[in-house]
Every structure is written in C-alpha cells, then in structure tokens.
Amino acid sequence: MSQKTDRIQNRNIYMYDDLIISLMAKKIKSVKVLHFDESTEKGARIQQASIFIEIEGEKPKLIQGTQVLKGDVNGNHTINYTIFDGKNIGKATYSINTMEKNINDSKLKIVGISEGKACCGNSKPIDTTLVVSNKTYSSNDPSIQCDICQALVKEICEELADGIPSDEICADVCVAGAGDICLLFVETLIGYLICLSICASLCALAIEEITDYGCSVGAEYICQKVGVC
C-alpha cells in the first residue's frame, strides 16, 4: 500500500495514543446492520447506518454512523463521517479525487483528517493514494468481513516480509495513519463502519492463522480458517 514507509517511520507517534489494540485474538461473534437509509439534501448524498457488533470477551457495541458525500463521486468529492460507538464520538473529513475509474476498482487520492477515538485515532492526517474496489455493500452482506480480512492478510504479509514484528502489525494497519486498511472502504458507509469496528480483532485472528499456515497459502485460505470467508 502507498505511504507504508511513512506509517512505519511514524509508528511511535500513532501506535497507542487514543486507542489500545488488544493482541489477543477475539472471535467476532456477529455483525448485524440494524438500520440503513440514504437520502439527498441540497445536492449531498446522506447515508446513515446502525451496526450491532459482538466480539468474544467484549461488551456488545452499537455503532452509529453518518456519511455525507458532496461533489462528483467520479471526480472530486468530499466525504464527512460522524461515528458514535456508545461512548466515543469520532469525526473524519476526506477530500477525494477519483484519478482513475475502471470496471472493478478506482484509484483515489485521499487527503483529510480524523478526530476522536471512534474514528481511528485523534487528529491523524491522511495523504495517500489507494486503489479501492468499486463494490457496494447491501445490509448484512456477509462478504464485507471476508473482503476486510483479505485486505488485512495481504497487508500483514507485506509487513512481515518487511521485518515488522507480528505484535506491532495490528496497531500499524488498524490505527497508524488513521487506519489505511479501512480507507479501502471509505466510500461505502457500511463497509467503513464495520472495518473500524472489527479491524483489530480480525487482524489478531488472521495473524494466528498466518503463524500456523504462512502467507504462501493465500489470503482467501487464511480468511476461510478465520471463519469469515
């Protein structure tokens, strides 16, 4: 992924302030979209969703989020997020330029900042270019967790190859630089909310399986062993 060098160099700045990643692998018991709606107001697309998350050993969480998209989704546009996890409020503002759009994916230039514990850390600047899937997610689409997991596994294996200790990787990919993995889902509210909610747990589970089977078996196989594909 782009910006990897910057994220690695800035690990000491980003890793643990505002969010502590548990390195214990905790099974994701259920992810349910309880509510989703979309409306248009003054040229802006507004999406709202409520997602119920159950993770083993943790109290269930109700995550509520609003996404406001303004501009041309095929060109220059902005996305504003407001996220509430029952205790913390997080906000994020991203200016996005769609540099290339293909049938299956798009190349995006993303610049912005996130604020608050519920949105990947406090005041984390973003300036990155990513290739993201054009896939949209319907409510309770089971493929969301699988797609997040496969993106995580690919990044985990890259970082292991770069010599990053396995006990640092989840904090790096789920928090540092405001969570590059979840930015892959930034244009779809449901995908983004679920990624923010389960990234750390899913990452720890994936690392357990990678430790047993290695990276050569591929992301899909690892995520099948995790139980989300």
- Each residue's pLDDT tens digit, 88-134: 888 889 999 999 999 999 999 999 887 766 665 556 678 889 999 98
Task: State the amino acid at position 4 in one-letter form.
Answer: K
Please state, as a whole number, how many other Cβ atoms lie within 10 Å of the Cβ of residue 167.
11
- 149-191 pLDDT, tens digit each: 999 999 999 999 999 888 888 888 886 444 578 889 999 999 9
Averaged pLDDT for residues 9-19: 38
Which position has the higher pLDDT, 141 or 77?
77
Residue ranges making up the domain that contains 194: 4-226
According to the model, what pLDDT value does residue 37 have?
92
Q: Could you give the angle at the alpha carbon of 161 between the alpha carbons of 158 and 163, nearest 5°?
A: 115
Count of the separate structural domains present in the chain = 1
What pLDDT shows up at residue 33? 93
| Closest of 66, 99, 198 to residue 145, by C-alpha | 198
pLDDT at 16: 36
For residue 28 the two structure tokens come to 């994701």
d(C-alpha 214, C-alpha 15), whole Å = 25
Amino acid at 2: S
Q: Which pLDDT belongs to residue 5?
A: 41
Instruction: State the pLDDT at residue 39.
Output: 94
* Helices 189-213 + 219-226 axis angle, to 10: 100
As a whole number, the mean pLDDT across the chain is 83
